[in-house]
Amino acid sequence: MYGKGLLKGLSVTGKIIFKKKVTEKYPEEKPQLAARWRGGFQLDVNECIACGLCERACPNSAIKLTTKKNEENKRQLASYELNQSYCLFCGLCVEACPKNCLRFTKEFETATYFKEKVKLDLFNNQNLSAPASSYAQLDKKKETEGKEGE
């Protein structure tokens, strides 16, 4: 009979109408993001040893940092700029950080009306209040613990 297949398909649609909705009420309810979400950035300047590994790991040279010597003749961070317009959000900088001070955050609404805001000045605005992501964090902790155990 012609149309049998159509009716069979319609029965599937009919069944699914009464199922639970799968969409999210986005602006009213914020989504549950994965623990390793790669969103914004935060930098703990006090922890940073200004090694420059993140700068070198970046495929697009989106990170620019300068250093200065402090009174004890130790290297210290002087400025840190992350240009998000060049950023691929690949996470290689966060993985490279030996002190876990450069981290991803779980921010996701990063659109802005101003072009200047796309460049992140992480030296003056460390963005530590944003929820941190566990991307490349847990494994590192485990690794260092393992080494201490040996």
Binding site for other proteins (CB under 8 A): 2-6, 8-9, 11-13, 16, 22, 33-38, 57-59, 88-92, 95, 104, 133, 135-136, 138-139
1 or 70: CB nearest other proteins: 1
Q: How far is the CB of 130 from other proteins (least distance, A)?
A: 15
Give the span between the Cα atoms of 75 and 19, in whole angstroms. Answer: 61
Phi, then psi, of 94 in degrees rounded to 5 = -65, -40
36 or 75: CB nearest other proteins: 36
78 or 88: CB nearest other proteins: 88
45 or 57: CB nearest other proteins: 57
Phi, then psi, of 68 in degrees rounded to 5 = -145, 165
Partners of 76 in beta bridges: 68
56 or 117: CB nearest other proteins: 56
Q: How far is the CB of 82 from other proteins (least distance, A)?
A: 16
Work out the end-to-end distance of the chain between its first and last CA atoms, rounded to an integer number of angstroms: 74
Task: Could you list the beta-strand ranges (E) of 13-150.
Answer: 41-43, 63-69, 75-83, 102-104, 119-121
For 81, the 3-state DSSP assignment is strand
Q: How far is the CB of 48 from other proteins (least distance, A)?
A: 20
Q: How far is the CB of 13 from other proteins (least distance, A)?
A: 6
According to DSSP, residue 106 is labeled S
Contact 104, 135 (CB under 8 A): yes
Q: How far is the CB of 90 from other proteins (least distance, A)?
A: 4
